[in-house]
Amino acid sequence: MEIRILNQIEGAKQAEGLTVIIDVFRAFTVECFLADLGVEKIIPMGKVEDCLALREQHPDYYLVGERKGIKLPNFDSGNSPSYLTTAVNMKGRTVVHSTSAGTQGIVYAAQRATEVITGSLVNASAIARYIKSKNPSVVTLVCMGLNGIEESAEDTLCARYIKAKLMGEDLNIHKEIADLKNTAGAKFFDDAQKVSFPEPDFFMCLVPDVFNFVLRADTSKNPIEMEKIDI
């Protein structure tokens, strides 16, 4: 098994084989929590206008989205796992999801990769087990980073953690997780940004291996839908 680690939107465009699109803060942490809450389906999309057009056809669809971390106009909520798990009842709903990095990666990776799944710390071990069960010749781990254009430590850490699991190595990531409070996660502790980056999101995104499932992009559907696969 060849394991490649690529970065940001350009990396997603080059992804081949079984591809993991990693977005820890916060897109694919959000999708894991939504799947666990029992949403009907999750539709990842790249363009804002496509999301709004889809809701024109389906007024009951719930729009979750951000750009640069800030909730998109005319969307129902931003990209906050703490909000979505406490403030609204998501069970049975269809969610249309568009973010600066993660969902963009899904859309681009679907063009070349043979299979696309999401990546986050909250289901990292399940991801590794799923990949091992498929035993692909090539695995591409794409760290989507900040807004899809800059490296971010949490996504790089997640990629290293998944790779270590695949290679049977022991990687103690807890100190590095704690260090994120002062680096990539500092925005969650900034009072000036607390509306867009609530502090509880930081902790929800960084607990490894909460969920025992993966989210696979069903690219046979238009638009793409995420499929929950229990491991």
* Segment (H or E) for 162: helix 153-166
d(CA 182, CA 121): 18
Tens-place pLDDT, residues 55-107 = 999 999 999 999 999 999 999 999 999 999 999 999 999 999 999 999 999 99
SS3 category, 219 = coil
Specify if 231 maps to a domain: no
Specify if 161 maps to a domain: yes
Angstrom distances, CA of residue 133 to CA of 18, 26, 136, 139, 227: 12, 27, 9, 13, 17
In single-letter form, the type of residue at position 189 comes to: F
Report field, pTM of the whole predicted structure over 0.85: yes
d(CA 144, CA 158): 11
Specify if 201 maps to a domain: yes
- Give the pLDDT score at 171: 92
Specify if 224 maps to a domain: no
- Give the pLDDT score at 191: 97
143 and 7 in contact (C-beta within 8 Å)? yes
Specify if 223 maps to a domain: no
- Give the pLDDT score at 65: 98
Long-range contacts of 182-187, Cβ-Cβ distance < 8 Å, separation of 24 or more:
183/153, 184/25, 184/146, 184/152, 184/153, 184/154, 185/25, 185/154, 187/69
Average pLDDT, 10 consecutive residues per value, the chain (231 residues): 98 98 98 98 98 98 98 98 96 98 96 96 98 98 97 98 96 95 97 97 98 97 97 95
Question: How many domains would you assign to the chain?
Answer: 1
162 and 20 in contact (C-beta within 8 Å)? yes
d(CA 207, CA 185): 14
Task: Lay out the sheet containing 138-143: strands in order across.
Answer: 2-7, 138-143, 18-22, 115-119, 213-218, 225-230
Specify if 103 maps to a domain: yes
- Looking up residue 110, the CATH number of its domain turns out to be 3.90.1560.10
Q: Whole domain around residue 197: which residue ranges?
A: 2-218
- Give the pLDDT score at 205: 98
Specify if 152 maps to a domain: yes
Residue 49 tokens read as: 């206008």
Q: Which residue has the tokens 């990693």?
A: 22
Specify if 228 maps to a domain: no
